[in-house]
Structures are given as C-alpha cells and as structure tokens.
Amino acid sequence: MKILTTKFLTKHNTAPFSKIKIEDYAPAITKGIELTRAEIDEIVNNPDKPTFENTIEALEFSGQTLDRITSIFFNLNSAETSDKMQKIAQEVTPMLTELSNDITLNTALFERIKSVYQQKESLNLNTEQAMLLDKKYKNFSRNGALLAEDKKARLREIDTELAKLKLTFGENVLAETNAYQLHITNEADLKGLPEGTIEAARSLAKSKEKEGWIFTLDVPSYLPFVTYAENRELRKELAIAYGKKAFQNNEFDNKQNILKIANLRHERANLLGYKTHADFVLEERMAQNPEKVNSFLNDLLSKAKPAAEREFKQLTDFAKNLDSIDHLEKWDSSYYSEKLKQELFNLDDEKLKPYFKLQNVQNGAFTIANKLFGLTFTEVFDIDKYHEDVHTFEVSDASGNLVAIFYSDFFPRKGKRNGAWMTSFKPQFVKEGVNERPHVSIVCNFTKPTETKPSLLTFNEVTTLFHEFGHALHGMLADTTYPSLSGTSVYWDFVELPSQVMENWCYEPEALALFAHHYETGEIIPQEFVNKIKESASFLEGMATLRQLSFGLLDMAFHGKNPSDIKDVKVFEKATMEDTALYPDVAENCMSVSFSHIFQGGYSSGYYSYKWAEVLDADAFSYFQEKGIFNKEVADKFKDNVLSKGGTDHPMTLYKKFRGQEPKPEALLKRAGLI
C-alpha cells in the first residue's frame, strides 16, 4: 500500500507499475479517501474568512494522492484487468462515490464556496481563476448542494447505484467479447482472407493448443474477417456473435442494466430540477440544450440521407451483379463496400498495409508533432510499465525541456477492453511555482506482429492512431495552473477537435511521405495510392454519416426524454433507428447493450459531439490548408489558443482566437462530398 500513498521515488515521478501488487489498491484507496477527507475538513474548519486561495484553490488541490491512485487503478482496469481487479473495482467504487457525494453535499463547504462566488466581481480574478470559481460553484449547485436533506440522501443512493451499474455493464461486454471464438478447421473457409489475418488466427489457435484457425470478436480479428471472408455464412455467424454481446439472456445480459442506468439518470436530473438527463448534461456543453442537439443531428440527417440512399442502392446493385445477392444484410456491408472500393478506386487495404508499419506510423505522428509544435519523442527504457507491449517516451520541446511522459499500448489481449482511447496517469498543473508535467497514454487494439510480419495497419487504423495521438497532444501540451482545467478537461463537444483535426494529416501527400514507406523495400507510398486515398476519402460517406447520426439519435432518445416508458430495449432501439436504417434488422442483435460510450464512458447525451467536432475540425484544417499544412504560424495559434489552454475559457472564445471566426459547416459538407 505504501508504494501508492507516498511520493514515487521514480524517474519523473512516474508510476512504479512493477512494484504495485493488486492487493495494494484497496487499502491505498481507503488511505487516499482518509487523506482527502482530512484536507476537506481543514478547508471547512478554517477560521479565516473564505477567500479564493483558502477555499477554491485549496479545494482544487485537495485529493491529489487519491486521484493519482485511482487514475492508475482505473486505467489498468480498462487496459490490463483481471477478475481480482474487477472485484476491487466493485468494492471501491461505492466508497469513491460516497466521498464525492460527501464533498458536493457538504453544506459548510458549499457556504464557503458560495461566499467567494458572490464576491467574484470584486476579486480581480484572471480568466482561468474566474473559470475555476465558476466550475466549482456549478459543480456543487448542479450536483445537489441546494437540495433538501431527504433529496440529498436519494441522490447519494442514485450515484452509488449508477457507479456500480456502469462497472457491471463494462465487465459484461468484456466477458462476452472474451467468451466467443470462431474455430475454423477447413482451409477452404479462409478463402478471401489476407495472409496476415490467416497467420494471426493460426498463431492464436496454436497458443490455445488447437488445430486450424481461431477468430475472435477483438476488432483486429473480427474486422478483416467480415471484410474479406468469401464464406457468407461464416461472416453472418461472426457478425451476429459481435452484435449480440450482452444480449443473450445470460448472466452477462445488459438489457436491465441499461434501463436502470437510463431511469436513474432521469430521476437524478429531475431531482436536480432538470427536465431530462440531456438537459442536465448539455447545460455545460457548447450545444447548450437537447433541442439544439436534435436540430443539429436532424439537419445533418436531411443532408446525408439522400446521399446514403444513393450509395446503398449502388452497393446493392453491385452485390447483385457480382454475386446475385438479392438482399444486402449487415454482414455483407464491409465485404461489398471493400469490393466496390477496389473496383472504383483500385484501392485495397491489403495493398496499402505494407506502407503502414505501426512503428513507422507512430514515428510519423511524432515527426508531424515536431514540425507543427516543436516536440521531440525519445523512447526510454528506464520508466516502469504495466505490460511488456507498452512503450515509454520522454517528450521534450525545442529547448530540450520535458513536456510530458508518453505511454503507447497498441495490441489486444484478454484483459484489455476493445476500442481505442487516450488517458492520463498524471495531469499537468502548476503548484508552488513548479509546472508539473503530464503523463499521458494512448491505448489501441491493432494487429499484432506475427512470426513473419511486423504489425501492419489498415488505413482506418492509421487514422485511429492519429486520432488518439491528437487527444494525447491536447494532454501533453497543456499549460494551465489548475488540474481540473488542464488538457482534455474541456466541454465534451470540444474535446474531439484536437483528435479529429489530426486525422486530416493522414490524407496529405506531404505528410504521408514522412512515414508511409514499404516495410520491406523502404519505398515511399506511390503517388497514385495517395491520390486514391484522397479520392476515396468520401467513399460511402453518406452511409457512414447516417451510421454516426443513428448513434447520436439513439443516445438522445435514451437521455433526452423520460425513459420509464421503455419496456423492451430492442423494440425501442429499432424504432429509434428507423429513420437511419438501411440494412434489414437482425433479430438476435442489439447495439444498445454494448454501447459503451454512453453507458460506461462519459458520452451520455454527448455522442453527437463527434459530428459537432467534425464541423470544427474541417473548418480548422481548412485554415491549415490555406496557409500550408505545416505552417508554423497557424500551428502556433492552434497550440497557444486550443491545445495549451484546456478548459480555461469558453471553447468558442478559444476557437475564435485561433481561427478569427466561428466555424462554418460548409467545410465539413464539402469534405464529406455532401455538397
């Protein structure tokens, strides 16, 4: 336990992963809670009149030991979990929720905050201090500080139950992902699959001491199978297995869990004086309210749907002509899309993959960050890591000063959830004159190297790496005083701007020349391939937009109205997605029960922000294109006004300081080929 509760005697104060035992976590978290309570008591019992320093700043810097322990624990619970870790998570989560409630519902503490808030006009605060004061006051007033005692008690019950339900939801999805495997023993069933995919499946079977080939629901195994396998029945089997995770009426079923989550969120919002959970959430977003979000989504839907329907007809006709398929099903989607792309553009992901060796792509992201922001990434081997697949880097600026510690973790494994994300083990902040630098991590699930090939990425995986790296830059370049306003601690519908804008460099010949080299010959990616990547960038974009909008509308349907009428999750989902559906429904499948973004992550009432941020990123990148994609002046403006500022000012203010104007949606519609 002591290892977690005392100062880390490590290089750059990094987490000493190899010295932490699983049994250290629970007692360390208990100790961290005790220390936090003592710090809160000290603020509350301070005999001096409440001031910004002795109340707001003191509260901001309280709980740092606990924050450090919990960030390590919960990050590993996503990237390197086990039954023991999950058991501890279920044990400590109610304790942490109770502490959070004890702080926000502490009347004496709120009185001190309110006292400072009421004199804010006369305090001569700078922009960041004013934002911190506003956020602290709202965090209390929006989360129950103004409630009567009986309502506070109910709020505590709701928060505890929600925290447990979200954990259980995620554990169920992971358990269902791990439980399934498609074991193939007939080589003919592999027809169409890329050599690398076959080799990876063979290695997996060998590791399980089985003959043949094993495919799983992990994305690097699942996606190539449904994209390339000619055996339609096996594509169907795998796709249905993927779509019915946590929807099988077994111990891992999530139907009741998500209904409980949606209803508890609604009750909580009502308790706090809001009409719905979406009204509560969106009050602190750029979009402001559910009406604006629904209007935004439906406006995009009206523009994208005609294009999507044309594309779907084109895909349907193509499949009929090629293979006499009368009705396209969901398990045909990736397969015929890929075939059509090959025919239209003569562009095959398998032709591109040799040019996207993982290490080269990562180095390309580093080089681009150097050209834009003057950062240098140096791999180091004396910083502890939590798994052998993890790589560690020191990030420095042009003067050689340490900017951040960066961890990358790229391959699937049993204890890691699916998907890709950025997170941090330590935020950036300034305390006692010292600018503490952040420890940032990106976690992905890419194809592992095999006996004969390094890890080679699909183009989609290349953009995923750049996306998460954009989030990482937001964390690494943070330069604020307060940790709760640092890095990615911004309005949720602004957080995707740095990540999505970085994806644009993947399509630029000047950028691709830096890293897209053939892994065997070293040859730079041919210009014709680059042209085709750019040409195909808006391929089936109408359908892709419709898919994203369907998720945003489903999120708003769960959270933007009273969910107590939802009796059957599947029926509700089907009705909600009717306007965006192109393929026939699959009775055995339900997307909501594994919709981790909104039921486990932080995207409830916020899934629309991917599309919202696309408007920002297309507009922002058009500025780079005007001036040159490595233009230092534009890059400095982006760094100084967006990346380094975190949540210290309103996002639109920051954006306008960078761009000189509000974003215009035309750039997105043009890029997507919708106008």
Q: Which residues are catalytic?
A: 468
CB count within 10 Å of CB 76 equals 22
Q: Is 29 helix (H, G, I), strand (E, B) or coil?
A: helix
CB 402 within 8 A of CB 394: yes
Element (H, E) at 624: helix 609-627
Which of the 8 DSSP states describes residue 489? -
CA dist 667 and 651 (Å) reads 19
CB half-sphere exposure, 657, CA atoms < 13 A: 16
What H or E segment, with its residue span, contains residue 339?
Answer: helix 333-345
Q: In what order do the strands lie in the sheet with 391-396?
A: 376-380, 391-396, 402-409, 439-443, 421-426
The residues facing 407 across adjacent strands are 392, 441
Q: Which residues contact 324 (CB under 8 A, 6 or more apart)?
A: none
What's the token pair of residue 410? 């790229």
Name the token pair of 348.
């095959």
**Residue 10, both tokens:** 């490590």
Cβ atoms of 436 and 428 within 8 Å: the answer is yes
Three-state SS sequence of 191-211: CCCCHHHHHHHHHHHHHCCCC
What are the residues whose beta carbons fall under 8 Å from the beta carbon of 51, sequence distance 6 or more? Answer: 116
Give the span between the Cα atoms of 107 and 102, in whole angstroms: 9
Burial 135-146 (b: 16+ CB within 10 A, else e): bbbebbbbbbbe
Report the alpha-carbon distance of residue 245 to residue 172 in Å, rounded.
8
Q: Could you tell me the CA-to-CA distances from 281 to 277, 603, 659 in Å, in that order?
A: 6, 10, 27
| Residue 509: C-alpha distances to residues 505, 512, 529 (Å) | 9, 5, 10
Q: What SS3 state is found at 441?
A: strand
| Dist. CA 287–CA 83, nearest whole Å | 40
CB atoms within 10 A of CB 586: 16
3-state secondary structure of 396: strand
Record the tokens describing residue 163, joined without a space. Answer: 């925290």
